[in-house]
Structure 1
Amino acid sequence: MRAIVNGTVHTVSERGTIDGGTVLVEDGEISAVGPDEEVEIPDDADVLDVEGHHVTPGLVDAHSHAGMAEWGEPEDGDFNEVSDPVTPHVNALDGFHPRDEELQHAFQGGVTTVSARMGSANVIGGVICSMKTYGDVADRMLVREDGMKAAFGENPKRFHGDQKDRQPSTRPGVAATLRQALMEAEDYVERREKAREEGDPFERDLGMENLARVVEGDLPLRVHAHRADDIATVFRIADEFGIENLSIEHATEGHVLAEEFVERDVPAVVGPTISSASKYELRNITFETPGILHDAGVKVAIQTDAPVLPQEHLDVCVGLAVREGLPEDVALRTVTRNPAEILGIEDRVGTLEPGTDADLVVWDGPMFELDSDARQVFVEGERIYDSERDDVDPREEYAW
C-alpha cells in the first residue's frame, strides 16, 4: 500500500483539484482520494510526501504508433499491412513490442496509456488497442480493443495509387473502397444471422467479423482525416451506414466544421501539430484548432501521432494549444479524461478516482508548462520512473 500525500491533486473528476491532497493506492488501484486530513492512512503504508507538487492521472495519448513503429525502422515497423488497401483482419496487439524505446520515453514523460494503431497507408487498417506503456508482455499491457483504423486523404492515395498502381488513387476511390467494405460487412452480418436462424453451417471470415463489430456499433470507427472535405466525406458515409460510434483523428481542418462535429456528437483527436505543412492537406495546420473545437462544444483530445512527434512531448503539445486559446482549466482533460472517454477506457484511466488504475504522475509544475518535469511516474501503483533515480547524463549514455 502506498500513500501519496501533500500534493496538489488534479482528480480530473467532479472532485476537482485538491490542495494538500492524498491519493491512497492499494493492489494497483486507487482506493481513496481526498484532503490529507480526511484520508485515513494505514500504519503499514509507504508514505510519499510530494511537497505540494502537482499530481495528475497518467497521460493518455488517443492516437499513437508507440510500440508499433519501432522509431520508424523499416526492419521492425509493423504498423502498415500493405498487402491490400482493406485489412480489417489485422490487430495491433499482434504487432505491439513492449521493448520499443518510444514506450520508455512515453512513461518518462508522464504518458502511461496509448492507443496503439496501424499507420494510414490503408483505407481500413485493422483493430486498434489501448495499451499501457510499461510492461513486459503485450497481453498484460492491453486495456481494451478500442476501434477500427481507417484513413482518408493523401496517404492511402499515395501508397496504393501512386506506388502500387491500384485503387484507391483518388479521394472518390478512397470513399468507394470504404463504402464497399462496409456494404460487404452488412451483407455478411445478414448472411450470418440467417444461417444462425436456420441452423445452417456458416464459414466465418476474420476481417468481416471485425467489420461486423463496426456496422453493429460495437467497435468505433476511427478515421484519419485532415482536410475539411475529407472529414465531411467521413460524416456522409457514417450517415449512410448509420455509424454513430466514430472519431475523427488529426482533424487538422476540424475547426472549419466545428458545428458538424457538435451536431453528430463526434470527438476530435487533434494533432500532431508541431510540424510544418509537409503535405498539401496540412497547409492549414494550427494550434488554434483544439481551442476552437472545445469552445464549440466538441470533445477534444490532443495527440502526438508518435513517433511523428516524440511521445514524451504530449505535454508540450498541450502547452502550445493553451498558448493559442485552449483554456487552461481544460488543458489537462485533453490528455486524460477526454481521451479515456473517447477510447472507452474511462473506467480504468484518465481520472484519479477510487477504483481506477493507480496510474499517476508527480510534476514539479503545471503539466502543460514548458519548464515542468515529470518527477515520478506510477503505473498500477508501481513506481516505474523517478527522475532523481533514473535520469542519466546523455554524455555518459550515448547510444551508438
Structure 2
Amino acid sequence: MRTLSVSLAALTLAALSTPALAQNLAITNARILTAGPAGEIANGTILVVGGKITMVAGPDRALAIAPGVTVIDAKGATVTPGLVAANTLLGAVEVRSLGDDLTVDNPEIGASFDVQYALNPESTLIPVARLQGITRAVVMPRSARGGGGDEHSDDGEVADHYTAGDGGDSKSHALFAGQAAVIHLAEGADILVKPKVGMVVPFGDGGANVAGGARGAQIVALKAAFRDVRDYMRDRAAYDRAGVRDLALSKSDLEALIPVVQGRMPIIAAVHKVADIRAVLKFAREENVRVILSGAEEGWKAAREIAAAGVPVIIDPLTDRPDSFEMLGATLENAARLQAAGVMVAIEGSGGAHRVREMRYNAGNAVAYGMPYSAALAAVTLNPAKIFGVSDTIGSIEPGKDADLVIWTGDPFEPLSQATAVYIKGRSQPMTSRQTELRDRYMNLGGPYPVAYPK
C-alpha cells in the first residue's frame, strides 16, 4: 500500500485562485460510483481542494491528510457525482398554472429568446431538486401555447410526455422556442453556468401547430428559415440598408440562428413519433446541423438510425402510455433499447420542475427494464454533461473536475435512499427546502408559533 502525503501548504497554494467558500475536504471510506473511466471504487477517498477534485484514491492508496482539511468519514456510504437534470423549467417557474418565464409568443422573438435572462436563483423549486442530489440542470424554453387544455401542466398533474418545445394546442408564430442554458443549483445570486447550449424546436404535432397545421409545412418553413440565415450571413450590411430580399425572420432571430447553421449550437428537437424522428434526422443531414432528440418515445424503433447519426436522446423512461397518436409505440424498454443500440441517452425527471427530483427513480426503472446500472448512472450524470458541452468540468468524479458530490444513505436509484450531503464546487449545500421548513414548523404546533386560546 502506498501512502501519499498531501501538505497543507500545497492545499493553500492550490486554493488561492478558487472561490473563498469552497472547502478543502476529504471524503473517506466511501463506495464511489465515479461515472467515469475508474468505474466503481470500493472503500475509496476523494480529495477536494478549492472546489476541485484533486485525487480519487482506492484502498491501495492511503492518503495522509494534512491538518486543516475537513475529513468526512462516509462509513461505507455511496458517493456519486451530482446529478445533471436535462429538460427542466428550474429557475423559471413556480406554479405552472400561473405561467412561467420560458414561453414567448412574439413574431419578432423566437430563436433569439434566451432563457438566461429569466433565471431566478431564489426559486423555491431549486432546493427541492437539490435535496435529491441534483446539482446542475439544463433549462429549456417551451413553445407558446393557446387557450385550450393544458395537457403539459407541471403542477402535480404532469403528462409524462411533457418535453421541451412542445406547443400544446397553440398557434404560435415562432418556429423556434428559444435557447437553452445550463445552471447550477447552489445557493447564490448567479446560477448561470453556460448559456446558448441548444436551440429548442418543436416537431411532430407541436411543429405542425407553429407552421400552419401540417408537419410537412414545418420542414419547408425551417428550410426557408435556414436559407434566410445563410443569405443574411453572406451580407449583413445589405440587410441594414434594405438591400436584400424580404426575409421571414427578424434580425435578432437571424443572428441567433447563425451558430445553428454553422454547427456550433445543436437543435433540441422535441419529437415523439418514429416517422417524425426520421424526418428530423433527414432534415439534420440535409442542412448539416447538429441535433439532440427530446422525448423520442418511439425512438427505439429507429434506434440504429439514431445511433448511426450520432444523435443523443433525452427521454423519460417511464413514458409508456399512448397519450396521443404520436406515442402509440411508447414502451418502458425505450431507454434500454436505445442504449443497447449505441445511442447516448440522458434520463430526465417526469416533468419540468416540480418532479425533476424523480429522475433518479426513473433511472432505477430503466435498470429494471433492461438498462445496465452503469449506463443508467451515466444517463443522469456524465451523458447530459457531454450532450450540453460541460463534461470537462462536471458529470463524473475525476481529478480536475468541479467537486459536485452527493453522499447517499443507500443506492441512489432506490426511492427510500436519501442524500445526506450535497456539495457543489466543493461547497456544502443546505439540506433543507421550503417543504422541509414547513414540515418542521408544523410538526409541533406548540412550538415556535404557539396559538393562545381563551380559557
TM-score class, shorter? 0.7 to 0.9
The C-alpha deviation readout for 1:371-396, integer Å capped at 9, x for no partner, is 222221111111114479x9557374
Aligned residue type for 2:272: H
Structure whose residues are more often helix by fraction? 1
Q: How many Å separate the matches in 1 of 2:63 and 2:224?
A: 57
The C-alpha deviation readout for 1:6-61, integer Å capped at 9, x for no partner, is 11011111111111111111211112111254334221101111111110000011
Partner of 2:278: 232
CA contact (8 A) 1:272 1:304 kept: no
In structure 1, list runs of 5 or more residues that go unmatched: 161-166, 196-203
RMSD, matched Cα = 2.5
Q: How many Å separate the matches in 2 of 1:209 and 1:68?
A: 24
CA contact (8 A) 1:67 1:103 kept: yes
Q: How many Å separate the matches in 2 of 1:332 and 1:397?
A: 36
Distance 1:19 1:272, change over 3 A: closer
Q: How many Å separate the matches in 2 of 1:22 and 1:108?
A: 23
Q: How many Å separate the matches in 1 of 2:45 and 2:194?
A: 26
Partner of 1:199: none
Q: How many Å separate the matches in 2 of 1:113 and 1:72?
A: 21
Give the alignment of 1:270-281 within 5 angstroms. Answer: 270-271=315-316, 273-274=318-319, 276-281=321-326
Aligned residue type for 1:136: G
Note the C-alpha offset of 1:301.
Answer: 0.8
Partner of 2:70: 46
Aligned residue type for 1:22: T
In the superposition, the TM-score normalised over structure 1's length comes to 0.88
CA contact (8 A) 2:52 2:399 kept: yes
Partner of 1:164: none
Mark the structure with the bigger radius of gyration: 2
CA contact (8 A) 1:272 1:309 kept: no
CA contact (8 A) 2:187 2:429 kept: no
Matched, 1:331 2:355: no
CA contact (8 A) 2:35 2:374 kept: no
Q: How many Å separate the matches in 1 of 2:256 and 2:407?
A: 39
Matched, 1:126 2:183: no
Q: How many Å separate the matches in 1 of 2:308 and 2:125?
A: 37
Aligned residue type for 1:142: V
Q: How many Å separate the matches in 2 of 1:29 and 1:14?
A: 18
CA contact (8 A) 1:68 1:117 kept: no
Partner of 1:346: 391
Q: How many Å separate the matches in 1 of 2:302 and 2:402?
A: 36
Matched, 1:57 2:81: yes
Partner of 1:29: 52
Q: How many Å separate the matches in 1 of 2:122 and 2:331?
A: 33
Q: How many residues align?
A: 379
SS in structure 2 of the partner of residue 145 of structure 1: strand
Partner of 1:154: 205
Matched, 1:66 2:90: yes
Distance 1:397 1:64, change over 3 A: farther
Give the alignment of 1:80-119 within 5 angstroms. Answer: 80-84=103-107, 87-119=110-142
Partner of 2:264: 218
SS in structure 1 of the partner of residue 104 of structure 2: coil
Identity of aligned residues (%): 27
SS in structure 1 of the partner of residue 54 of structure 2: strand
Partner of 2:224: 180
Distance 1:74 1:157, change over 3 A: farther
Aligned residue type for 1:82: D
Partner of 1:291: 336
CA contact (8 A) 1:71 1:307 kept: no
Partner of 1:137: 189
The C-alpha deviation readout for 1:294-329, integer Å capped at 9, x for no partner, is 111111111126336601111011011111111123
Aligned residue type for 2:292: S
